[in-house]
Amino acid sequence: MKTFRDISLSMLDLVAVREGGSVADALAISLRTARHAESLGFKRYWLAEHHNMAGIASSATAVLVGYIAGGTTRIRVGSGGVMLPNHAPLVVAEAFGTLAELYPNRIDLGLGRAPGTDRLTMRALRRDRVESEDDFPREVAELQRLLAPAEPGQQVIAMPGAGTNVPIWLLGSSLFSARLAAQRGLPYAFASHFAPRLLLPALDLYRSEFRPSATLAQPHVMIGVPLIAAPTDEEAEFLASSTYQRVLGILHGERSRLQAPMDDFKAKLHPQERAAIDDFLAAAVIGGPQTVRDGLSALLQATAADELILVSDVFDPDLRLRSLEIAAKACAA
Protein backbone atom coordinates (compact mmCIF):
# COMPACT_ATOMS: atom_id res chain seq x y z
CA MET A 1 0.00 0.00 0.00
CA LYS A 2 1.51 3.29 -1.11
CA THR A 3 1.99 6.29 1.14
CA PHE A 4 2.78 9.91 0.41
CA ARG A 5 6.46 9.08 0.86
CA ASP A 6 6.24 6.84 -2.21
CA ILE A 7 4.93 9.45 -4.64
CA SER A 8 5.74 12.79 -6.22
CA LEU A 9 3.56 15.86 -6.61
CA SER A 10 3.51 17.71 -9.92
CA MET A 11 1.38 20.43 -11.51
CA LEU A 12 -0.49 20.82 -14.77
CA ASP A 13 -1.14 24.41 -15.81
CA LEU A 14 -3.75 25.40 -18.38
CA VAL A 15 -2.49 29.01 -18.11
CA ALA A 16 -5.94 30.38 -17.38
CA VAL A 17 -6.74 33.89 -18.53
CA ARG A 18 -8.72 35.50 -15.74
CA GLU A 19 -11.70 37.78 -16.16
CA GLY A 20 -10.33 41.32 -16.08
CA GLY A 21 -6.79 40.12 -16.79
CA SER A 22 -4.72 39.74 -19.95
CA VAL A 23 -2.77 36.96 -21.63
CA ALA A 24 0.43 38.63 -20.43
CA ASP A 25 -0.94 38.48 -16.88
CA ALA A 26 -1.73 34.76 -17.30
CA LEU A 27 1.79 34.01 -18.52
CA ALA A 28 3.37 35.91 -15.62
CA ILE A 29 1.12 34.07 -13.15
CA SER A 30 2.18 30.76 -14.70
CA LEU A 31 5.88 31.48 -14.19
CA ARG A 32 5.28 32.68 -10.65
CA THR A 33 3.31 29.50 -9.92
CA ALA A 34 6.04 27.30 -11.41
CA ARG A 35 8.67 28.93 -9.21
CA HIS A 36 6.46 28.37 -6.17
CA ALA A 37 5.87 24.73 -7.11
CA GLU A 38 9.63 24.29 -7.48
CA SER A 39 10.20 25.77 -4.02
CA LEU A 40 7.67 23.29 -2.61
CA GLY A 41 9.55 20.34 -4.09
CA PHE A 42 7.16 19.52 -6.93
CA LYS A 43 8.72 17.20 -9.50
CA ARG A 44 7.17 18.48 -12.75
CA TYR A 45 5.39 21.48 -14.18
CA TRP A 46 3.47 20.67 -17.34
CA LEU A 47 1.60 22.87 -19.82
CA ALA A 48 -1.42 21.71 -21.84
CA GLU A 49 -2.07 22.40 -25.53
CA HIS A 50 -5.47 23.92 -26.30
CA HIS A 51 -6.60 26.14 -29.15
CA ASN A 52 -9.27 28.77 -29.84
CA MET A 53 -10.29 29.08 -26.19
CA ALA A 54 -10.61 32.56 -24.74
CA GLY A 55 -9.71 31.44 -21.23
CA ILE A 56 -6.58 29.37 -21.98
CA ALA A 57 -3.23 30.79 -23.11
CA SER A 58 -1.20 27.60 -23.54
CA SER A 59 -1.64 26.98 -27.27
CA ALA A 60 2.07 27.48 -28.12
CA THR A 61 3.06 24.74 -25.69
CA ALA A 62 6.73 24.32 -26.63
CA VAL A 63 7.27 28.07 -26.34
CA LEU A 64 5.76 28.05 -22.86
CA VAL A 65 7.86 25.06 -21.82
CA GLY A 66 10.94 27.09 -22.67
CA TYR A 67 9.60 30.14 -20.83
CA ILE A 68 8.95 28.16 -17.65
CA ALA A 69 12.16 26.15 -17.84
CA GLY A 70 14.16 29.35 -18.36
CA GLY A 71 12.58 30.94 -15.29
CA THR A 72 13.17 27.97 -12.97
CA THR A 73 16.24 25.95 -12.06
CA ARG A 74 15.42 22.36 -11.04
CA ILE A 75 11.82 21.37 -11.68
CA ARG A 76 11.13 19.26 -14.77
CA VAL A 77 9.04 21.12 -17.35
CA GLY A 78 7.04 19.58 -20.14
CA SER A 79 3.87 19.20 -22.14
CA GLY A 80 0.76 17.68 -20.72
CA GLY A 81 0.47 17.36 -23.54
CA VAL A 82 1.36 18.15 -27.08
CA MET A 83 -1.59 17.03 -29.22
CA LEU A 84 0.37 15.01 -31.73
CA PRO A 85 -2.28 14.96 -34.51
CA ASN A 86 -1.78 18.73 -34.81
CA HIS A 87 1.95 18.47 -35.57
CA ALA A 88 4.45 16.67 -37.75
CA PRO A 89 6.62 14.44 -35.52
CA LEU A 90 9.80 16.01 -36.93
CA VAL A 91 8.66 19.48 -35.84
CA VAL A 92 7.90 18.21 -32.33
CA ALA A 93 11.23 16.39 -32.14
CA GLU A 94 13.17 19.48 -33.17
CA ALA A 95 11.28 21.76 -30.78
CA PHE A 96 11.70 19.49 -27.77
CA GLY A 97 15.20 18.51 -28.83
CA THR A 98 16.11 22.20 -28.75
CA LEU A 99 14.53 22.52 -25.31
CA ALA A 100 16.48 19.48 -24.10
CA GLU A 101 19.75 21.04 -25.26
CA LEU A 102 18.89 24.31 -23.51
CA TYR A 103 17.69 22.66 -20.28
CA PRO A 104 19.40 19.25 -20.01
CA ASN A 105 17.59 16.50 -18.07
CA ARG A 106 14.63 18.78 -17.31
CA ILE A 107 12.27 18.40 -20.30
CA ASP A 108 9.32 15.98 -20.62
CA LEU A 109 7.25 15.31 -23.74
CA GLY A 110 3.70 14.23 -22.93
CA LEU A 111 1.67 13.27 -26.01
CA GLY A 112 -2.08 13.21 -26.54
CA ARG A 113 -4.10 12.06 -29.54
CA ALA A 114 -7.05 14.48 -29.26
CA PRO A 115 -7.04 17.73 -31.22
CA GLY A 116 -7.50 19.89 -28.12
CA THR A 117 -10.01 22.12 -29.87
CA ASP A 118 -13.19 22.33 -31.98
CA ARG A 119 -13.62 20.98 -35.51
CA LEU A 120 -13.22 24.32 -37.28
CA THR A 121 -9.98 25.08 -35.46
CA MET A 122 -8.82 21.51 -36.00
CA ARG A 123 -9.14 22.10 -39.75
CA ALA A 124 -7.18 25.34 -39.45
CA LEU A 125 -4.41 23.47 -37.62
CA ARG A 126 -4.27 20.40 -39.84
CA ARG A 127 -5.54 21.83 -43.13
CA ASP A 128 -6.86 18.90 -45.16
CA ARG A 129 -5.19 16.15 -43.22
CA VAL A 130 -7.49 13.31 -42.13
CA GLU A 131 -6.32 11.40 -39.04
CA SER A 132 -6.93 7.67 -38.61
CA GLU A 133 -6.67 5.55 -35.48
CA ASP A 134 -3.45 3.99 -36.80
CA ASP A 135 -1.68 7.33 -37.20
CA PHE A 136 -1.05 8.04 -33.52
CA PRO A 137 0.89 4.82 -32.73
CA ARG A 138 2.91 5.26 -35.92
CA GLU A 139 3.73 8.89 -35.11
CA VAL A 140 4.70 8.05 -31.52
CA ALA A 141 7.14 5.47 -32.91
CA GLU A 142 8.48 8.03 -35.36
CA LEU A 143 9.06 10.51 -32.54
CA GLN A 144 10.88 7.87 -30.53
CA ARG A 145 13.20 7.22 -33.48
CA LEU A 146 13.82 10.92 -34.08
CA LEU A 147 14.77 11.56 -30.44
CA ALA A 148 17.00 8.48 -30.23
CA PRO A 149 20.61 8.53 -31.48
CA ALA A 150 20.70 8.69 -35.28
CA GLU A 151 21.38 5.35 -36.96
CA PRO A 152 23.83 4.81 -39.83
CA GLY A 153 22.15 5.71 -43.10
CA GLN A 154 19.23 7.49 -41.44
CA GLN A 155 18.06 10.04 -43.99
CA VAL A 156 15.82 12.26 -41.84
CA ILE A 157 17.48 13.44 -38.64
CA ALA A 158 16.02 15.80 -36.05
CA MET A 159 18.59 18.50 -35.50
CA PRO A 160 18.45 19.37 -32.64
CA GLY A 161 16.69 16.31 -31.27
CA ALA A 162 18.60 13.20 -32.27
CA GLY A 163 20.23 11.61 -29.26
CA THR A 164 18.44 13.77 -26.68
CA ASN A 165 16.13 10.90 -25.68
CA VAL A 166 13.55 13.33 -24.30
CA PRO A 167 11.28 11.23 -22.04
CA ILE A 168 7.98 10.52 -23.79
CA TRP A 169 4.76 10.04 -21.82
CA LEU A 170 1.45 8.97 -23.27
CA LEU A 171 -1.61 10.81 -22.01
CA GLY A 172 -5.19 9.69 -22.24
CA SER A 173 -8.70 9.53 -20.86
CA SER A 174 -9.65 6.19 -22.45
CA LEU A 175 -8.23 2.69 -22.89
CA PHE A 176 -6.52 3.40 -26.23
CA SER A 177 -3.44 5.25 -24.94
CA ALA A 178 -3.28 3.01 -21.86
CA ARG A 179 -2.83 -0.01 -24.11
CA LEU A 180 -0.34 1.76 -26.37
CA ALA A 181 1.73 2.98 -23.41
CA ALA A 182 1.79 -0.57 -22.07
CA GLN A 183 2.84 -2.02 -25.42
CA ARG A 184 5.63 0.53 -25.84
CA GLY A 185 6.82 0.40 -22.22
CA LEU A 186 6.20 4.12 -21.69
CA PRO A 187 4.99 6.04 -18.63
CA TYR A 188 1.27 6.80 -18.66
CA ALA A 189 -0.69 9.82 -17.42
CA PHE A 190 -4.46 9.58 -17.08
CA ALA A 191 -6.55 12.74 -17.54
CA SER A 192 -8.73 12.19 -14.48
CA HIS A 193 -8.77 15.95 -13.89
CA PHE A 194 -11.55 16.19 -16.50
CA ALA A 195 -12.52 12.64 -17.53
CA PRO A 196 -12.28 10.36 -14.48
CA ARG A 197 -14.83 7.74 -15.50
CA LEU A 198 -12.36 5.22 -17.00
CA LEU A 199 -9.53 5.93 -14.56
CA LEU A 200 -9.41 2.55 -12.82
CA PRO A 201 -10.04 0.38 -15.92
CA ALA A 202 -7.33 2.28 -17.84
CA LEU A 203 -4.79 1.82 -15.07
CA ASP A 204 -5.64 -1.87 -14.74
CA LEU A 205 -5.20 -2.35 -18.47
CA TYR A 206 -1.92 -0.44 -18.56
CA ARG A 207 -0.43 -2.43 -15.70
CA SER A 208 -1.66 -5.84 -16.86
CA GLU A 209 -0.38 -5.40 -20.43
CA PHE A 210 2.83 -3.51 -19.64
CA ARG A 211 5.95 -4.69 -21.44
CA PRO A 212 9.32 -3.56 -20.05
CA SER A 213 11.37 -1.45 -22.42
CA ALA A 214 14.72 0.30 -22.58
CA THR A 215 12.83 3.33 -21.29
CA LEU A 216 10.97 1.79 -18.38
CA ALA A 217 11.36 -1.46 -16.45
CA GLN A 218 7.95 -1.36 -14.76
CA PRO A 219 4.68 0.57 -15.09
CA HIS A 220 4.70 4.21 -14.03
CA VAL A 221 1.40 6.04 -13.57
CA MET A 222 0.48 9.67 -13.02
CA ILE A 223 -3.10 10.85 -12.51
CA GLY A 224 -4.62 14.31 -12.86
CA VAL A 225 -6.25 15.75 -9.74
CA PRO A 226 -8.30 18.97 -9.62
CA LEU A 227 -7.25 20.55 -6.34
CA ILE A 228 -8.61 23.52 -4.40
CA ALA A 229 -7.16 23.82 -0.90
CA ALA A 230 -7.80 26.51 1.70
CA PRO A 231 -7.60 26.85 5.50
CA THR A 232 -11.21 25.64 5.80
CA ASP A 233 -13.54 23.41 3.82
CA GLU A 234 -15.97 26.31 3.47
CA GLU A 235 -13.42 28.66 1.90
CA ALA A 236 -12.17 25.93 -0.44
CA GLU A 237 -15.72 25.30 -1.64
CA PHE A 238 -16.16 29.03 -2.27
CA LEU A 239 -12.90 29.23 -4.25
CA ALA A 240 -13.84 26.11 -6.21
CA SER A 241 -16.84 27.95 -7.66
CA SER A 242 -14.44 29.43 -10.24
CA THR A 243 -13.72 25.89 -11.42
CA TYR A 244 -17.43 25.00 -11.29
CA GLN A 245 -18.19 27.96 -13.56
CA ARG A 246 -15.47 26.88 -15.98
CA VAL A 247 -16.77 23.29 -16.09
CA LEU A 248 -20.36 24.43 -16.59
CA GLY A 249 -19.20 26.58 -19.49
CA ILE A 250 -17.41 23.60 -21.06
CA LEU A 251 -20.55 21.47 -20.68
CA HIS A 252 -22.58 24.18 -22.43
CA GLY A 253 -19.97 24.73 -25.15
CA GLU A 254 -18.92 28.12 -23.78
CA ARG A 255 -15.20 28.58 -23.09
CA SER A 256 -14.89 31.89 -21.29
CA ARG A 257 -12.20 33.36 -19.07
CA LEU A 258 -11.73 32.12 -15.52
CA GLN A 259 -14.35 33.84 -13.37
CA ALA A 260 -14.16 35.17 -9.83
CA PRO A 261 -15.68 32.88 -7.16
CA MET A 262 -19.35 33.20 -6.26
CA ASP A 263 -21.22 32.39 -3.07
CA ASP A 264 -23.42 29.27 -3.24
CA PHE A 265 -22.85 28.87 -6.99
CA LYS A 266 -23.74 25.18 -7.20
CA ALA A 267 -26.80 25.60 -5.02
CA LYS A 268 -28.32 27.88 -7.67
CA LEU A 269 -27.92 25.34 -10.47
CA HIS A 270 -30.37 22.79 -11.83
CA PRO A 271 -29.78 19.35 -10.23
CA GLN A 272 -28.72 17.93 -13.60
CA GLU A 273 -26.08 20.65 -13.94
CA ARG A 274 -24.76 19.93 -10.45
CA ALA A 275 -24.59 16.24 -11.25
CA ALA A 276 -22.72 16.90 -14.50
CA ILE A 277 -20.16 19.09 -12.71
CA ASP A 278 -19.71 16.48 -9.99
CA ASP A 279 -19.18 13.79 -12.64
CA PHE A 280 -16.60 15.93 -14.46
CA LEU A 281 -14.78 16.58 -11.19
CA ALA A 282 -15.19 13.14 -9.61
CA ALA A 283 -11.45 13.00 -8.88
CA ALA A 284 -11.33 16.50 -7.39
CA VAL A 285 -10.01 17.18 -3.90
CA ILE A 286 -11.53 20.33 -2.41
CA GLY A 287 -11.24 21.40 1.22
CA GLY A 288 -9.12 22.32 4.20
CA PRO A 289 -5.81 20.64 5.11
CA GLN A 290 -7.26 17.47 6.63
CA THR A 291 -9.85 17.07 3.88
CA VAL A 292 -7.12 17.49 1.30
CA ARG A 293 -4.90 14.93 3.00
CA ASP A 294 -7.76 12.44 3.27
CA GLY A 295 -8.86 13.02 -0.32
CA LEU A 296 -5.39 12.63 -1.82
CA SER A 297 -4.78 9.58 0.35
CA ALA A 298 -8.01 7.99 -0.87
CA LEU A 299 -7.02 8.58 -4.50
CA LEU A 300 -3.60 7.13 -3.83
CA GLN A 301 -5.04 3.99 -2.25
CA ALA A 302 -7.57 3.54 -5.06
CA THR A 303 -5.08 3.98 -7.90
CA ALA A 304 -1.61 3.19 -6.46
CA ALA A 305 -0.39 6.09 -8.61
CA ASP A 306 3.30 6.95 -8.70
CA GLU A 307 2.64 10.67 -9.16
CA LEU A 308 -0.24 13.07 -8.66
CA ILE A 309 -0.38 16.00 -11.06
CA LEU A 310 -2.52 18.79 -9.65
CA VAL A 311 -4.71 21.24 -11.54
CA SER A 312 -5.55 24.22 -9.36
CA ASP A 313 -7.70 26.88 -11.03
CA VAL A 314 -8.01 29.44 -8.25
CA PHE A 315 -8.96 32.93 -9.41
CA ASP A 316 -6.72 34.84 -7.00
CA PRO A 317 -3.09 34.00 -7.90
CA ASP A 318 -1.93 34.37 -4.29
CA LEU A 319 -4.59 31.94 -3.08
CA ARG A 320 -3.58 29.53 -5.84
CA LEU A 321 -0.04 29.50 -4.45
CA ARG A 322 -1.49 28.93 -0.99
CA SER A 323 -3.55 26.03 -2.34
CA LEU A 324 -0.42 24.29 -3.61
CA GLU A 325 1.37 24.95 -0.33
CA ILE A 326 -1.47 23.42 1.70
CA ALA A 327 -1.42 20.34 -0.54
CA ALA A 328 2.36 19.96 -0.22
CA LYS A 329 2.19 20.25 3.57
CA ALA A 330 -0.73 17.82 3.75
CA CYS A 331 1.28 15.22 1.86
CA ALA A 332 4.36 15.82 4.01
CA ALA A 333 2.54 15.57 7.33
- How does pLDDT run across 310-328, given as a tens digit for each residue? 999 999 999 999 999 999 9
For residue 79, the model assigns a pLDDT of 97
- How does pLDDT run across 198-210, given as a tens digit for each residue? 999 999 999 999 9
For residue 168, the model assigns a pLDDT of 98
For residue 86, the model assigns a pLDDT of 87
- How does pLDDT run across 106-115, given as a tens digit for each residue? 999 999 987 5
For residue 116, the model assigns a pLDDT of 47
pLDDT at 293 > cutoff 90: yes
pLDDT at 265 > cutoff 50: yes
Beta bridge partners of 193: none
CATH architecture of structural domain 1-166: Alpha-Beta Barrel (3.20)
Mean pLDDT for the stretch of residues 224-252: 96
pLDDT at 245 > cutoff 90: yes
pLDDT at 287 > cutoff 80: yes
- Extents of the domains making up the chain: 1-166, 226-303+311-333
pLDDT at 222 > cutoff 90: yes
Q: Can you state the angle between helices 135-147 and 89-102, rounded to 10 degrees?
A: 40
CA–CA separation, 220 and 201 (whole Å): 15
Contacts of 134 by beta carbon, 8 Å cutoff, 6+ apart: none
CA–CA separation, 197 and 199 (whole Å): 6
For residue 233, the model assigns a pLDDT of 98
For residue 126, the model assigns a pLDDT of 59
- How does pLDDT run across 37-90, given as a tens digit for each residue? 999 999 999 999 988 888 999 999 999 999 999 999 999 999 998 999 889 999
Mean pLDDT for the stretch of residues 211-236: 97
pLDDT at 253 > cutoff 90: no
- How does pLDDT run across 10-37, given as a tens digit for each residue? 999 999 999 999 999 999 999 999 999 9
Mean pLDDT for the stretch of residues 289-301: 96
Round the average pLDDT of the chain to a whole number and report it.
93
Amino acid residing at 308? L
* DSSP assignment of 84-152: GGGS-HHHHHHHHHHHHHHSTT-EEEEEE-S-SS-HHHHHHHHTT----TTHHHHHHHHHHHHHSPPPT
- How does pLDDT run across 113-142, given as a tens digit for each residue? 875 455 666 665 555 665 666 789 999 999
